[in-house]
Structure 1
Amino acid sequence: MRLRNPRVQLVLALALLLILVSAFSFGKIWFKQGSANVTAVAPTVTHHDVPAASEVPVASIQPTKNESAVTYPTENVDVVVIGSELEGLYLARAAADEGLKVKILDPHPAFGGQILQSQMLFLDETRDDQGHLLVQGRAKELFDGFRNAKIRKLSEFTTYMNKLSKDIPIESGITIQDIEQVETPDYMHKIPSILYRTNSNEVKKITASYWVDNSDMAALLSRLDTKRLPGLEKFYGQKNIEYMSAGMMMKFKNVDWKKFNTTFNSLKPEEKSKQFGGGSVNDSYAIGLSGMTKAYHASNDRVFLRGLNAVNQRDGEVLINALLIYTVDPANAASVQEAVNLGNKETALILQHFRKTLPGWEKAELGELPTYPYIREYNHYEMDYTLKPSDLLAGTMFWDNVSIGGYPLDLQGTSANKWGIEMGRPDKYGMPLRSFLLKNYENVIAAGKNVGSSAIAYGSTRIQPNTSLAAESIGVILGQLHGKQKLREITPDQMATLHQYLAAHYQIKLTGVTATNKIAGWNEEEIRKLDAGEITYPSYIQTRKKPAVK
């Protein structure tokens, strides 16, 4: 039936025309959006993919209509190191020297981690029971320079770290946006690529064979399908997660160190004890003086002045590691900034106390204060092998050693135990490659503070020479494998060959090392209690009954 009414025909024609114009316009817009080189992406939520406080909110990142057409500037490298802490830089340097293409992506806005940004310039050496230095590899240059007073100032540390990272590209202030994860034929996870946002708000893609978390807040590990190991909250019986206290380094100038040293050492032992609570002062260091620090009353329950670790930086400048800040969450930007404010405010008050109580400090003034706290600890994640107190105190050596470690099991204070506690003193011990390989992931490596260690063993494993040597060894091994073999596929025979290479080319000795077993003769129940923290070694060993000789 035909429509003869002209008015109806006109209405239908106009409606059809409107439909055609709308369809054409929509298609034109869709084409433009689908073909553009868009630099914004909606993050895909992966396991535990919770953005840190400093990240761009998800709501501000708009998806495209045709995501398959989105392209990003893409870079292909062998190794990506997340974070610029000192320890992981040794891995980056070694891998680059071995011919691999390495890139550093730093979640922090500035390079250098706890060394440069926190000014944690008081270095703890590792030695065995006989006093022999355990520091090996590239780190030895730094620690020798510190001991010999040639590397003491921030500028000197900066020069050293710039040399360590020379010619390795670094992007600071990045935010991880999306982590591509696939399952391997042997049911492992693997990361082929990562999308990240630069500090100039550009989204980039990077692919790599291996990914290294070298950050102080597990910037990569915390976003993966990982298992968090119990922390100190279990040891102290706390309900909430709490980490070892953060530190705010205190910097002073116009200190007469010579007068300080001479006056202190002219006192008789009983006078030292009465005025300062003991301790020691020499040309380079002031250690302890905890009687003097105990006399200081903090203005806030969250801050605490413990015994001194003070270093003479020359020219009247002194740096002290002694001010603790409790209940700091390294992954929370607001918590970190609050720690900085609390610490620097307290440092000004502590200066007045030092002026009154320490000889040579009468005219001391505040120096340049750090803008970031020294983070000692964050979450511990499960690696292929978790180092335990019994491993350390037994002096265990592993077939896949990547470091020879040492240092007391020094648990720094928390709000539950402000002074902290020492859980034992190993002679020396091995650190296996497996303690740096993330469990269930084919190509994720932990560095520095992310070492696979129980919270109690971490009191020792966390010390820089231990994990620095491990990182350098792993970097060399990656270079030797050069993609031909996975780290997990290394056999004992192959590791022996790699150990020989490390010794010949890098003067790193990881085999033929023996250590005193300080828990020889202990039964299984005693070792279980030691590893669980139910036994405090220094006190237990004095009362432990020796087994009867049969």
Structure 2
Amino acid sequence: MINLNKLLKTLLIVSIVIIIFISNTPVASERVIPQKYYQVVVVGAEPEGIAAAVSAARNGLRTLLIDRRDKVGGLYTLGWLNSLDLNYKSKNTKEIVNKGIFGEFHRKVGGGSAFDILQVQKVFNDMLKNSGVDVVLTVSDIKPIVKDNKIKGISFGKNGINYLVNTSIVIDSTQNADIAAASGVPYKFGWEDFGFPGEVAAATLVFSVKNVDWNKVVSYLQKDGNPYTGGNNTSAWGYEVMYKTPIKDPDIQMRGINAGRQKDGTVVINALQIFNVNPLDENEKKRAIERAKRELPGIIDFMRKNAPGFENAELAGVAQELYIRESRHIIGEYTLTADDIFENRNQEIAVAFGSYPIDLQARKKGMTGIALCGTNPYGIPFGVMVPKNIDGLLIASHCASYDVIAHGSARTVPVGMALGQAAGVASKLAIEKNVTFREIARSNKLINELRTRLEKQGVDLKPIKVDNPEKNSWAYPYIKSLRNKAMLSKGYSNDYRLEDTATIYTFSGVFFLINSHSQIKIDTTILKNYDKNYPVKKTDYIEMLNKILSSNYRNWEELLKEGLVDEKIYTRIIKSNDYLTNSEAYALIDCLVKYIQNR
């Protein structure tokens, strides 16, 4: 007769052995993490993703943060960008607009314009641990689970095992919006809208040097006569001479130095630009790092000879990853535009603020970056994080829904961390109200509720009054047209100087931007016989125009007939004095651009 109890015990032992064997054997099949359901999964342990995860967890949501790398912090800890692109309320104050979680982080790393990389690693780790975020690193093959255009989960590999995490909310804070792209979210890449497919802002390999005389660096930059250079105890910026560094690689150049001092005395340098790197290709990025490293001995030798304070500098190390400024621009419920920034819009509906200058970095060797404005506070709507087509997904990173020009300002990490905090709070709101992120983005009532919750959690969303005197100018439509195409800058001073007399410098500056940011190419050698301060007469402009177009126009009536000026400009020019003002110059150039584009 069979002993039933003995048989059951035997079967139980065999079952346990089988379970243990299966649990420790790498298999291809997916399985749910035991006893874990996460209300929010954040993919990407960049600073923005950390802010999102901390925010979600502090709002009582079971939160998982995953990343393919072996440490958190991304751009700050692996890319070594240790200079903070702070967003101030105005150019006359040091009060930042990004408070809340970013403000907390900023205080913990010293409250300055740069930080110590080892310290920031500890701060991030502590914030995640203290908030109760579960963190899983060194994962692979991260994929979204999407059904009926809704996020249902995330799968990933770890130690040879594939895991499936059930969740209805994913926050994508990867460097390139990889989860959004894999989910089917529409996006644009780099400068394709401007006729430059495949082109993106320069990548940078950050490196560090030792044996730097920091006091000499700061003293030199404070006294070099350049209003745009300077330094303090932790940061320094300047040395435009570095643009002349001899470099062999056709896709690498140095620019002026942004330097951050570390606690061990080394100095981290953000200045080594690499072009034509596909940010979506990991192997190409690795090759770019190796190419850049080969140039470093010559770069440091040039620094020793030309950058006071760096006479004894030696290479101390290089970042593990590239600083990637730009890749995908996802298409969201709302797209932040250049006009939003120039006109300081969206402040009453904002879930985050930005104010950093629109800083367009070079895309090709030989180009220089350009600032289209100075400090300029504006609001960022929740809809920039809500992608078209897919529900349950938010994008909290520099890949949010910004047009190319707006991206030049809104891409900064403090703004991204502010959006990350908003993403965490919005996740709580969506779960509580049983609504989608799309419904939140389209509801004034829900946006107001989201803003109220953010303000209770330390975020400052009070509107910031800004004057835009150019809006009262007769030439404002022409100004808007040019600057939305990155063809007009009002500089760090935020002043177009509209009623000043136009000079050759006025025209050369706009022509430079046209050549840099469009397919139009204007031969600027036509200006070489003029002094840059030469005041431009109306007759000079017709002569200039004829050289540009290889034409033979004699008067303004002919320009009107040809469509090179419109009735509004023609009437004003005929009545004005002999010399053009800047406002008239901008209007004329805008008409010229449209004429060339349409012919």
> Is the 8 Å Cα contact of residues 100 and 460 (structure 2) preserved in structure 1?
no
Q: Secondary structure at the match of 1:306?
A: strand
Q: Secondary structure at the match of 2:447?
A: helix
Counterpart residue type for residue 376 of structure 2: D
Counterpart residue type for residue 186 of structure 2: K
> Is the 8 Å Cα contact of residues 82 and 114 (structure 2) preserved in structure 1?
no
* 2:460 is aligned with 1:500: no
Counterpart residue type for residue 508 of structure 1: V
Partner residue in 1 for 2:467:
516
Q: Deviations over 1:315-365 (max 9, x none)?
A: 431111111111112221111101211222223322212222233323222
> Is the 8 Å Cα contact of residues 302 and 327 (structure 1) preserved in structure 2?
yes
Question: Alignment partner for residue 54 of structure 2, among 67, 89, 93?
Answer: 93
Question: Alignment partner for residue 410 of structure 2, among 450, 458, 461?
Answer: 461
Question: Alignment partner for residue 107 of structure 1, among 68, 83, 92?
Answer: 68
> Is the 8 Å Cα contact of residues 189 and 327 (structure 2) preserved in structure 1?
no
Partner residue in 2 for 1:194:
154
Partner residue in 2 for 1:379:
328
Whole-angstrom CA distance in 2 between matches of 1:278 and 1:98: 42
* 2:245 is aligned with 1:296: yes
How much does 1:294 deviate? 2.5
Question: Alignment partner for residue 318 of structure 2, among 369, 384, 387?
Answer: 369
- TM-score calculated relative to the size of structure 2: 0.72
How much does 1:467 deviate? 1.9
Whole-angstrom CA distance in 2 between matches of 1:233 and 1:497: 37
Stretch moving more, 218-227 or 432-441: 218-227
Q: Secondary structure at the match of 1:76?
A: coil
Counterpart residue type for residue 214 of structure 1: S
Gaps in structure 1 of 5+ consecutive residues: 1-31, 43-69, 184-188
**Residues 305 and 39 (structure 1), Cα distance of their counterparts in 2 relative to 1, 3 Å cut:** same
Whole-angstrom CA distance in 2 between matches of 1:368 and 1:278: 28
1:53-452 mapped onto 2 (5 Å cutoff): 71-73=31-33, 75-127=36-88, 128-131=90-93, 132-144=95-107, 148=111, 152-166=115-129, 167-176=132-141, 178-183=143-148, 189-198=149-158, 200-229=159-188, 231-235=190-194, 237-238=195-196, 240-262=197-219, 269=225, 279-290=229-240, 292-415=241-364, 418-425=367-374, 427-452=376-401
Partner residue in 1 for 2:595:
none
Whole-angstrom CA distance in 2 between matches of 1:176 and 1:268: 51
Whole-angstrom CA distance in 2 between matches of 1:394 and 1:96: 35
> Is the 8 Å Cα contact of residues 231 and 454 (structure 1) preserved in structure 2?
no
* 2:494 is aligned with 1:544: no
Counterpart residue type for residue 193 of structure 1: G
Whole-angstrom CA distance in 2 between matches of 1:483 and 1:284: 44
> Is the 8 Å Cα contact of residues 242 and 414 (structure 1) preserved in structure 2?
yes
Counterpart residue type for residue 424 of structure 2: G
> Is the 8 Å Cα contact of residues 171 and 394 (structure 2) preserved in structure 1?
yes
Q: Deviations over 1:255-287 (max 9, x none)?
A: 12123334555x674xxx7xxx98324433321
> Is the 8 Å Cα contact of residues 97 and 354 (structure 2) preserved in structure 1?
yes
Q: Secondary structure at the match of 2:402?
A: coil
How much does 1:219 deviate? 1.9
**Residues 107 and 164 (structure 1), Cα distance of their counterparts in 2 relative to 1, 3 Å cut:** same
- TM-score calculated relative to the size of structure 1: 0.78
**Identity over aligned residues, as a percent?**
23
Stretch moving more, 213-222 or 96-105: 213-222
Whole-angstrom CA distance in 2 between matches of 1:394 and 1:386: 15
How much does 1:118 deviate? 0.9
Whole-angstrom CA distance in 2 between matches of 1:314 and 1:112: 18
Whole-angstrom CA distance in 2 between matches of 1:362 and 1:463: 32
How much does 1:518 deviate? 6.2
Q: Secondary structure at the match of 2:69?
A: coil
How much does 1:120 deviate? 0.9
Whole-angstrom CA distance in 1 between matches of 2:40 and 2:408: 29
Whole-angstrom CA distance in 1 between matches of 2:346 and 2:319: 39
Whole-angstrom CA distance in 2 between matches of 1:220 and 1:143: 28
Give the number of aligned pairs.
469
Partner residue in 2 for 1:531:
484
* 2:421 is aligned with 1:476: no
Partner residue in 2 for 1:15:
none
**Residues 408 and 329 (structure 1), Cα distance of their counterparts in 2 relative to 1, 3 Å cut:** same
How much does 1:304 deviate? 1.0
Whole-angstrom CA distance in 2 between matches of 1:142 and 1:71: 36
Q: Secondary structure at the match of 1:435?
A: helix
How much does 1:516 deviate? 3.2
> Is the 8 Å Cα contact of residues 451 and 461 (structure 1) preserved in structure 2?
no
**Residues 341 and 191 (structure 1), Cα distance of their counterparts in 2 relative to 1, 3 Å cut:** same
How much does 1:463 deviate? 0.9
> Is the 8 Å Cα contact of residues 448 and 462 (structure 1) preserved in structure 2?
yes
Stretch moving more, 479-488 or 535-544: 535-544
Q: Deviations over 1:490-514 (max 9, x none)?
A: 332343233233223x221214443
How much does 1:87 deviate? 1.2
What root-mean-square deviation, in Å, do the aligned CA atoms of Structure 1 and Structure 2 show?
Answer: 2.9
Higher relative contact order (CA 8 A, sep 6+): 1
